[in-house]
Amino acid sequence: MAPMKTDLCIIGGGAAGLSLAAGAARMGARVVLVEGHRMGGDCLNYGCVPSKALLAAAARAQAMREGGCGIAGVLPKIDHAAVMAHVRGAIAAIAPHDSVERFEGLGVRVIRDWARFVSPREIQAGGEVIRARRFVIATGSRPAVPPVPGLDRVPYLTNETLFELDARPDRLLILGGGPIGIEMAQAHRRLGAEVAVIEAKRALGREDPEAAALVLDRLRAEGVEIFEHAEVRRVTGRAGAITVETADGLLEGSHLLVAAGRQPALERLDLPAAGVEADAAGVRVDSGLRSTNRRIYAIGDAAGQGQFTHLAGYHAGLVIRPILLGLPARVRRDHMPRVTYSDPELAQIGSTEAEARAAHGDAIEVVRADYAGNDRAVTGGRTAGFVKVVLRRGRPLGATLVGAEAGELVGPWALAIASGQRMTAMAGMILPYPTLGELNKRVAGAYFSPKLFENPWLKRGVRAIQRLLP
């Protein structure tokens, strides 16, 4: 059988593969997309979309419970099946955007099968051999299951099965206190479950400790048990009755969610057949996301440079240049924001204070503004949180935001860091009053205030000029 020939063959129809397929087809390339399971990949089906939909339902329940601004709290009536219908409705509403029909409409040839390399220039999928000028591996990641004794003998949930539950877990044990563990802990607690998080190190361990503490304190105040530096020795039990044995005692639950990190999904690809090297993080790529086979690129979670939908989109936009136009491309890693959608939200872009200190020592400056000093936060009764910015030579290196809408507020810092703007740009921005966005301007003000208002030379100059002015 003669191979099917194409310009670009993309393996994986998640955020990374779909962004690339749409862009490349619209720019005139012949594109084949191979997806072995569900179009939309993790983000749409078992990741961002269902988790944020569940968090939204949980936030409504919590708002009723807490009341505030003079409104008494009431006990929310939670119909878990209806909540899950909302979650599935959100997936269904977004799914057409990622559908086979839409991509075929854009001119992409979509093959629904698992792909595997049969040579450095060919894959096999859907009963066809596909020979492409360029391949892109966009196969994503899957839950990593830690080597805990007994885990393989108990029924446990992962992000791939959690959103299939129709009944609320009575007592949910969560292994892992990263973003998945923390978001799902708060969502389930607010929806009425008892929840315990068991974390081997520090929960939200990548994040600025002060910002993480604010989130974790809030979860604890809502009744989530969080065990940090916990050594899990064994897991036993059966459906409905799971026991996690830690060095400090036994924890019992009705369900166990494993949220202990993710690993690249490369096993079906037969990478050695294509001369593509990979390690535990993902496909080994150069600064242009090209693998050890020069015709093959890797993007998104599979490239091992982070696991975010916006990173997948960025990678797709980047590799399209060399693949379609033969232009060089170089991946940047200093301007990728991340947000944990807990309440309060925690957003980070660029370096944390600790990372900046480790890299630049005392050459950095740190400025901050607290939500308590922002009028919109005060009027809305949402005063917990802060914005902290690390600078070097007048340019922001990183920003940490924790508090209401932190994920929205990080946007201007993403622009400033990506475009190398100075703090003057942020200070010069005029923002509507009263908005939470003014927090960003306030931080810039905190940077310039001492330079302006505690400067004896300036004071003397102003006095001299005042004497001269008519």
Ligand X SMILES: Cc1cc2nc3c(=O)[nH]c(=O)nc-3n(C[C@H](O)[C@H](O)[C@H](O)COP(=O)(O)OP(=O)(O)OC[C@H]3O[C@@H](n4cnc5c(N)ncnc54)[C@H](O)[C@@H]3O)c2cc1C
Smallest gap from Cβ 248 to ligand NAD, in A, equals 13
- Number of amino acids touching ligand NAD (CB under 6 A): 26
Smallest gap from Cβ 184 to ligand NAD, in A, equals 9
Which regions of 269-337 does DSSP assign to beta strands (E)? Answer: 296-298
Q: What is the number of other CB atoms lying within 10 angstroms of the CB of residue 195?
A: 27
- As a whole number of Å, the CA-based R_g of the chain is 25
| Residue from 10, 33, 49, 260 binding ligand NAD (CB under 6 A) | 260
Q: What is the number of other CB atoms lying within 10 angstroms of the CB of residue 221?
A: 8
Smallest gap from Cβ 231 to ligand NAD, in A, equals 8
Give the range of 21-29, 96-104, 299-307, 328-336 binding ligand X by CB under 6 A: 299-307
- Shorter beta-carbon distance to ligand NAD: residue 201 or 234: 201
- Is 57 a binder of ligand X (CB under 6 A)? no
Smallest gap from Cβ 35 to ligand X, in A, equals 5
CB 201 within 8 A of CB 178: no
Beta bridge partners, 32, equal 9, 109
From the list ligand X, ligand NAD, none, which binds 61 (C-beta under 5 to 8 Å, kind-based)? none
Give the three-state DSSP class for 67. coil
Cα distance between residue 195 and residue 184, in whole Å: 9
Binding to ligand NAD (CB under 6 A) within 216-235 occurs at: 232
As to burial, measured by CB atoms within 10 angstroms (0-12 exposed, 13-18 middle, 19+ buried), residue 11 is buried
Contact flags string 235-274 toward ligand X, x per CB under 6 A: ------------------------------x--xx-----
For residue 137 the two structure tokens come to 């591996």
Cα distance between residue 255 and residue 170, in whole Å: 8
- Shorter beta-carbon distance to ligand NAD: residue 121 or 398: 398
As to burial, measured by CB atoms within 10 angstroms (0-12 exposed, 13-18 middle, 19+ buried), residue 278 is buried
Tokens 């503490």 -> residue: 213
Closest residue to ligand NAD, based on beta-carbon distance: 178
Smallest gap from Cβ 9 to ligand NAD, in A, equals 26
From the list ligand NAD, ligand X, none, which binds 398 (C-beta under 5 to 8 Å, kind-based)? none
Which residue in 140, 180, 144, 148 sits closest to 162, CA to CA? 180
The dihedral region occupied by 388, where left means phi > 0, alpha psi between -120 and 50, and beta the remainder, is beta
Contact flags string 38-77 toward ligand NAD, x per CB under 6 A: ----------------------------------------
CB 452 within 8 A of CB 458: yes
| Residue from 199, 345, 405, 438 binding ligand NAD (CB under 6 A) | 199
- Is 377 a binder of ligand NAD (CB under 6 A)? no
- Is 177 a binder of ligand NAD (CB under 6 A)? yes
Cα distance between residue 446 and residue 448, in whole Å: 6
Sign of CA dihedral 173, 177, 181, 187: positive
| Residue from 3, 7, 30, 37 binding ligand X (CB under 6 A) | 37
| Residue from 146, 155, 381, 394 binding ligand NAD (CB under 6 A) | 146
- 427, containing H or E segment: helix 423-428
- Shorter beta-carbon distance to ligand X: residue 67 or 89: 89
- Is 338 a binder of ligand NAD (CB under 6 A)? yes
Cα distance between residue 342 and residue 256, in whole Å: 20
Smallest gap from Cβ 128 to ligand X, in A, equals 13
Cα distance between residue 154 and residue 210, in whole Å: 36
Binding to ligand X (CB under 6 A) within 318-357 occurs at: 341
- Shorter beta-carbon distance to ligand NAD: residue 220 or 459: 220
Torsion of CA 432, 438, 442, 443, to 10 degrees: -140
- Is 198 a binder of ligand NAD (CB under 6 A)? yes
- Is 315 a binder of ligand NAD (CB under 6 A)? no
From the list ligand X, ligand NAD, none, which binds 14 (C-beta under 5 to 8 Å, kind-based)? ligand X
- Interacting residues with ligand NAD (CB under 6 A): 146, 148, 175-181, 183, 198-201, 205, 232, 259-262, 307-308, 338-341
